[in-house]
């Protein structure tokens, strides 16, 4: 059974060798004339500066990663079920329907509380920040990058 | 040596090495990278033990999903620049020592108990993995352990609610701070 | 697990290594031709000539580009995290190649009395292997963005990662549906199960979900938000140049080859197709290549037709449309397509009732969700 994975190990070795070799050989052959301007981070017309530490991204990205784990685990449970569900029969189907329904409750909750909306909820912003000339999307672009 | 032993002895030092290296990294992202290496070696051990399904799941869930969340959080909080080395949680060290000793004792007892089991040839493909690892798993999981399986969905609901509550609290403070700044 | 390890003599080893090396370089050459094809098709659709100089009708243009990039100066920005910065392009490339390992691209050929399968490894967890490698694809991007020490790559990589993980769920659900229909995780058996009808027909929703998720996974237009050049310069590889840039580019196109090959294997019958009996090993290979080229052409066509969509729409399409449809389709596959085989026609009614019930529940829940959507769309006065 392990021998099945032998060709994959060979392929992985080959891919790593290819990557490292092309980096290494290229490093030997190419010119190297760094200047300060070349090595500076890319910026368009202004002095390059790093984003301020902390609160650099909307918390939405974190929520998406969290929700991804939840649904990834759900999908992972579906895999062994999908392999054996013919033998499990109606019991297996009902079992999985209940499971999916329960996770769907979580999904509906997240949707309702705005976790799937990429724009910020309007009422809260209206209360907290004075209206600005920016459209919500434009504001989002500013914050989300 | 049997092939599974060769694989084990190749990956075991990598596993321990990456775990130790993770502890001694000052940069949070580098530590996370070593943790990913560690998850990989763990996946290989599952494979050696005749659990290819767990091997794939270990990569998909731990290396693919949970570590992405870790990297996101590290970047999100901006702790990736060796600035925040101040310990925020008090009593962390004594608690860590107590829990670490407990874990070591547990490993010792378990290892002693299972030493006899590990001797002799064990062919998982003919004993537990009849009809394929995933099939066997599906029978055990969805027939014998169907109640724990259903309860898992409750766990997922709780996780979703927790994520939303935490995110909304964070968001509110952020928006308020932004509002004050604009005023 | 002391199984009787299959005895391998030196000929087996040579054949194994040769097989892997040939496949590796075949993938590299296919990427070369694919980039040329994309440029030519784009040119044709825009009534231009496209690349014409290098080789006959410009076919060697990618090779020329590659050689040029190989000799270009490599810049490591001062604020970059050097080890991770160098590691990221290699990491971006490897999972794409590894995912190709489980794809059967033909029946095989007999060489020196040994059967050489046209597949690197027929794992019994084939589909999961594909999913696992797909989930590792994000690392190259996220590490490139972080290690560059620059703002645009960081923003691009975070965006890209969020996009990829969002569509990975939809892709996983599509794979589950195929798996249910074929009854095996093994690629060779999935191809074998399509001897009468391609999965794309009974599993059309899953096929559609897979193709769309594939677009997002490969970061291709109209889902190329990570590289939205009007906003993010070049996204996560803004700070990369020379050979390191070439490796990202290579990884991206290998990924496209892989996504198309998986679509062919799971939904379009793999290497199956009618063929004459002489040189029997060649025709399945040609069928496979022809089908992959067709899927790639579809992706290129989509790229040239549709404009880039806005980020919030991209995310809500993935989360609010693909995932519920995928979940419903998995249950519907379980209930409608397969249960009649087990229980007879009566079960079809039961299955239909379950689906109707699910739709009813969904429509009851809809009013809870719908008002929220409208209010979120309003702009504050």
Q: How does residue B103 score in pLDDT terms, banded at 50, 70 and 90?
A: very high
Residue of A nearest to B182 (CA): A129
| Owner of token pair 């049997």 | B2
In a domain, B84, yes or no: no
| Minimal C-alpha gap between A142 and chain B (Å) | 13
pLDDT of residue A56: 59
Q: How far apart are the first and last CA of chain B?
A: 72
CB-based contact, C59 to chain A, within 8 Å: no
* pLDDT tens-digit readout, B125-141: 666 676 677 788 888 88
In a domain, B171, yes or no: yes
In a domain, B62, yes or no: no
pLDDT average, residue stretch B133-156: 84
Residue C334 has pLDDT above 70, yes or no: yes
Share of chain C above pLDDT 90, in %: 15
pLDDT of residue A143: 44
Q: At what angle do helices B67-77 and C126-147 cross, to 10 degrees?
A: 20
Lookup: tokens for C371: 């008002």
- What is the overall mean pLDDT for chain B? 79
More confident residue, B120 or A51: A51
* pLDDT tens-digit readout, B2-27: 777 888 888 999 999 999 998 888 88
Other C-beta atoms lying within 10 Å of the C-beta of residue C362: 14
Lookup: tokens for C327: 């979940």
CB-based contact, A48 to chain C, within 8 Å: yes
In a domain, B174, yes or no: yes
Q: How does residue C381 score in pLDDT terms, banded at 50, 70 and 90?
A: very low
Q: How does residue C343 score in pLDDT terms, banded at 50, 70 and 90?
A: low
Query: Cβ–Cβ of B4/C2 closer than 8 Å?
Result: yes
Residue C226 has pLDDT above 70, yes or no: no
* Pairing label, strands C109-111, C114-116: antiparallel
From chain A, the residues in CB contact with C209 under 8 A are none
Residue C333 has pLDDT above 70, yes or no: yes
Residue A50 has pLDDT above 80, yes or no: no
From chain B, the residues in CB contact with C154 under 8 A are 75
pLDDT average, residue stretch C201-230: 82
CATH number of A2-144: 1.20.58.1610
* Separation of alpha carbons C364 and A37, rounded Å: 61
Lowest mean per-residue pLDDT among A97-101, A129-133, B174-178, C214-218: A129-133
Query: Cβ–Cβ of C365/A108 closer than 8 Å?
Result: yes
Residue A137 has pLDDT above 50, yes or no: no
pLDDT average, residue stretch C58-68: 86
CB-based contact, A114 to chain C, within 8 Å: yes
| Minimal C-alpha gap between C316 and chain B (Å) | 17
CB-closest option in A5, A62, A106 to B76 = A62
Domain ranges, residue B169: 145-183
Q: Which residues, other chains included, contact B105 with Cβ-Cβ below 8 Å and sequence gap of 6+?
A: none
Query: Cβ–Cβ of B29/C136 closer than 8 Å?
Result: no
Residue C360 has pLDDT above 60, yes or no: yes
User: Which residues partner with C111 through β-bridges?
Assistant: C114
In a domain, B70, yes or no: no
Where helices occur in C218-322 by DSSP H, the ranges are 229-232, 242-267, 282-305, 311-316
Chains in contact with chain C (at least 3 beta-carbon pairs closer than 8 A): A, B
Q: How far apart are the first and last CA of chain C?
A: 69
pLDDT of residue A24: 86
Query: Cβ–Cβ of A145/C156 closer than 8 Å?
Result: yes
* Separation of alpha carbons C72 and A33, rounded Å: 11
Q: How does residue B122 score in pLDDT terms, banded at 50, 70 and 90?
A: low
* Separation of alpha carbons C230 and C221, rounded Å: 14
pLDDT of residue A130: 45
Query: Cβ–Cβ of C183/A83 closer than 8 Å?
Result: yes
pLDDT of residue B13: 93
Q: How does residue B101 score in pLDDT terms, banded at 50, 70 and 90?
A: very high
CA distances to C161, C209, C250 from C167, in Å: 10, 9, 22
Residue of C nearest to A81 (CA): C180
Share of chain C above pLDDT 70, in %: 88
Residue ranges of domains in chain A: 2-144
From chain A, the residues in CB contact with B67 under 8 A are none
Lowest mean per-residue pLDDT among A7-21, A101-115, B33-47, C325-339: C325-339
Instruction: Name the domain count of chain B.
Output: 1
Q: Phi-psi bin for A45: left (phi > 0), alpha (psi -120 to 50), beta?
A: left
């Amino acid at each position: 059974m392990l021998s099945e994975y032998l060709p994959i190990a060979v392929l992985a070795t080959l891919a790593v060798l290819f990557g490292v070799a092309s980096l290494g050989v290229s490093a030997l052959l190419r010119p190297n004339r760094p200047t300060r301007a070349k090595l500076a981070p890319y910026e368009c017309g202004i002095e390059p500066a790093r984003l301020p530490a902390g609160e650099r991204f909307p918390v939405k990205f974190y929520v998406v990663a969290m929700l991804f784990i939840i649904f990834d685990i759900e999908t992972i449970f579906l895999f062994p079920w999908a392999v054996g569900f013919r033998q499990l029969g109606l019991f297996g189907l009902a079992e999985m329907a209940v499971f999916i329904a329960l996770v769907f409750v979580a999904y509906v909750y997240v949707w309702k509380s705005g976790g799937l909306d990429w724009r910020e909820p309007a009422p809260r912003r209206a209360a907290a920040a004075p209206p600005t000339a920016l459209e919500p999307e434009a504001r989002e672009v500013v914050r989300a990058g | 040596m049997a092939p599974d032993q060769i694989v084990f002895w190749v990956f075991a030092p990598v596993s321990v090495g990456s775990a130790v290296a993770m502890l001694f990294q000052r940069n949070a992202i580098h530590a996370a990278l070593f943790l990913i290496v560690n998850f990989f070696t763990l996946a290989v051990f599952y494979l050696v033990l005749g659990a290819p399904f767990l091997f794939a799941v270990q990569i998909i869930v731990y290396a693919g999903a949970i570590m992405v969340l870790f990297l996101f959080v590290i970047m999100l909080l901006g702790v990736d620049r060796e600035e925040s080395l101040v310990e925020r949680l008090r009593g962390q060290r004594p608690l860590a020592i107590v829990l670490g000793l407990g874990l070591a004792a547990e490993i010792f007892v378990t290892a002693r108990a299972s030493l006899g089991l590990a001797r002799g040839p064990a062919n998982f493909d003919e004993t537990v993995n009849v009809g394929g690892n995933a099939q066997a798993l599906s029978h055990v999981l969805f027939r014998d352990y169907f109640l724990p399986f259903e309860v898992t969905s409750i766990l997922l609901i709780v996780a979703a609610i927790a994520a939303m509550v935490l995110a909304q609290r964070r968001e509110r403070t952020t928006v308020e701070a932004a509002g004050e700044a604009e005023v | 697990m002391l199984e009787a390890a299959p005895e391998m003599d030196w000929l087996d080893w040579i054949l194994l290594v040769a097989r892997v090396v040939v496949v590796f370089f075949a993938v590299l050459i296919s990427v070369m031709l694919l980039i040329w094809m994309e440029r030519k098709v784009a040119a044709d659709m825009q009534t231009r000539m496209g690349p014409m100089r290098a080789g006959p009708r410009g076919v060697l243009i990618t090779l020329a580009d590659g050689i040029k990039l190989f000799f270009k100066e490599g810049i490591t920005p001062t604020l970059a995290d050097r080890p991770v910065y160098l590691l990221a392009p290699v990491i971006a490339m490897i999972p794409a190649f590894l995912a190709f390992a489980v794809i059967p691209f033909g029946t095989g050929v007999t060489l020196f009395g040994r059967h050489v399968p046209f597949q690197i490894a027929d794992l019994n967890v084939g589909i999961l292997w594909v999913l696992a490698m797909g989930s590792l694809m994000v690392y190259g991007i996220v590490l490139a963005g972080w290690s560059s020490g620059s703002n645009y790559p960081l923003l691009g990589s975070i965006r890209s990662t969020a996009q990829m993980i969002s569509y990975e769920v939809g892709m996983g659900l599509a794979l589950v549906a195929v798996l249910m229909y074929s009854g095996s995780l093994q690629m060779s058996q999935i191809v074998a199960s399509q001897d009468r009808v391609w999965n794309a027909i009974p599993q059309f929703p899953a096929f559609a979900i897979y193709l769309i998720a594939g677009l997002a996974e490969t970061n291709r237009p109209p889902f190329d938000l990570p590289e939205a050049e009007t906003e993010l310069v070049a996204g996560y590889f803004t700070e990369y140049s020379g050979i390191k840039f070439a490796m990202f580019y290579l990884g991206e196109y290998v990924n496209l080859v892989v996504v198309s090959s998986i679509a062919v294997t799971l939904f379009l019958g793999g290497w199956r197709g009618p063929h004459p009996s002489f040189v029997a090993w060649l025709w399945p290979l040609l069928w496979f290549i022809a089908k992959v080229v067709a899927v790639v052409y579809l992706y290129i066509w989509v790229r040239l037709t549709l404009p880039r969509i806005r980020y919030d729409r991209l995310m809500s399409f993935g989360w609010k449309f693909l995932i519920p449809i995928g979940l419903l389709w998995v249950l519907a596959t379980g209930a409608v397509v397969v249960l009649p085989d087990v229980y007879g026609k009566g079960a079809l009614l039961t299955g239909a009732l379950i689906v109707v019930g699910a739709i009813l529940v969904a429509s009851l829940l809809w009013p809870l969700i719908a008002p929220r959507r409208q209010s979120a769309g309003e702009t504050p006065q």
